Amino acid sequence: MGKLYSEDRRGAILELLKQNSRASVSDLAQKLDVSEVTIRTDLRMLEQSKLLHRTHGGAIISDEESLSFANRLNMHRTEKSRIATAAFEHIKNHDSILLDASSTCLELAKLIRRSDKTVTITTYSLLAAQELVDNPKLNVFLIGGAIRNQNSVEGVLGASLLDSVYPEKYFFSARGITQDGELMDFDLYELELKNLLFTRSKMRYCLVDSSKINRSSVGRFGSLQESDYLFTDNSAPKEFSYTASKLKITFC
């Protein structure tokens, strides 16, 4: 494997841990072609972000990151439902929107399906697309590519679709939001697509429960300073609102 930037290398470490549950420092150093000192630094940074647990001579994946998407659907479900309900009020008749593949946006997709609004939705979420297609008033476009996991498509292969659909509103979640308002995620494949969707959209709506706030992850795809709305639950720290003066925050 060729030399990687630190962000890509740390993503590769997490991918290896997801595949094997645990790994030693020496094995990681050999596979990623870097020194053991570099690997130890990476492991320390990833542990600080609560993405793994260091062990004697290596690391194991953290419990939360090892959860399947199906299991994550049941985490903070009440909060996600309230957040999705608040965000739904910002979807108007004849809107063209983007949805990411998060469990919170899947809750939003369910509300859209049950509504009588005519909406065009572009997504890379397999579950959201399946949910939405049952409503004949909805125009649903799935960004193509290789199936990555239980719920998402990998890469930007089909992103040229955005040249024809012209979505204005992007509804998304994040694996973490830092104190500086950086929007972070775990999966390097998804980060590339989320960054593209963030850049291409005019209005950006961030839907996160309070467990994601003041938390880091592997890579950045945008920031709250560049976003328009933040929807979170009442357990979120209220002082967090200082991060972006133009940001409109709803505590659900």
pTM: 0.77
Q: Give me the half-sphere count of Cα atoms (radius 13 Å) on the Cβ side of residue 184.
A: 23
Nearest CA among 24, 12, 2, 3 for reference residue 186? 12
Please tell us whether the domain made up of 6-61 is placed in CATH 1.10.10.10.
Answer: yes
What would the two tokens of residue 224 be?
């709250």
What would the two tokens of residue 194 be?
């989320």
d(CA 178, CA 183) in angstroms, rounded, equals: 7
Helix, strand, coil content of the chain in percent (nearest 5): 40, 25, 35
For 86-116, give one letter per residue: b (16+ CB within 10 A) or e. bbbebbeeebebbbbbbbbbbbbbbbbbeee
Q: Tell me what pLDDT residue 25 has.
A: 92
Q: Tell me what pLDDT residue 238 has.
A: 78
Q: Tell me what pLDDT residue 86 has.
A: 98
The radius of gyration of the chain from alpha carbons, rounded to an integer in Å, stands at 18
Domain boundaries, the chain: 6-61, 71-251
Q: Tell me what pLDDT residue 131 has.
A: 93
CATH number, span 71-251: 3.40.50.1360
Q: Tell me what pLDDT residue 163 has.
A: 76
CB atoms within 10 A of CB 182: 19
Q: Tell me what pLDDT residue 74 has.
A: 59
Q: Do strands 203-207 and 182-185 pair parallel, antiparallel, or not at all (unpaired)?
A: unpaired
Nearest CA among 210, 208, 209, 221 for reference residue 182? 221
81 and 233 in contact (C-beta within 8 Å)? no
What's at 232, amino acid-wise? Answer: T
Each residue's pLDDT tens digit in the chain (252 positions)? 556 677 778 878 887 887 777 889 999 999 999 999 999 999 988 887 777 788 888 888 765 555 455 555 556 789 999 999 999 999 999 999 999 999 999 999 999 999 999 999 999 999 999 999 999 999 999 887 767 666 677 666 556 777 777 789 999 999 889 888 999 887 777 888 899 899 989 999 999 999 889 887 878 899 999 999 999 999 998 776 555 668 899 999
Q: How far is CA 141 from CA 97, 129, 168, in A?
A: 10, 8, 14
Give the three-state DSSP class for 171.
Answer: strand
**The residue to which tokens 């690391």 are assigned:** 59
d(CA 106, CA 215) in angstroms, rounded, equals: 22
What would the two tokens of residue 56 be?
């004697």
Q: How far is CA 61 from CA 100, 174, 190, 230, in A?
A: 24, 19, 19, 29
Q: Give me the half-sphere count of Cα atoms (radius 13 Å) on the Cβ side of residue 182.
A: 13
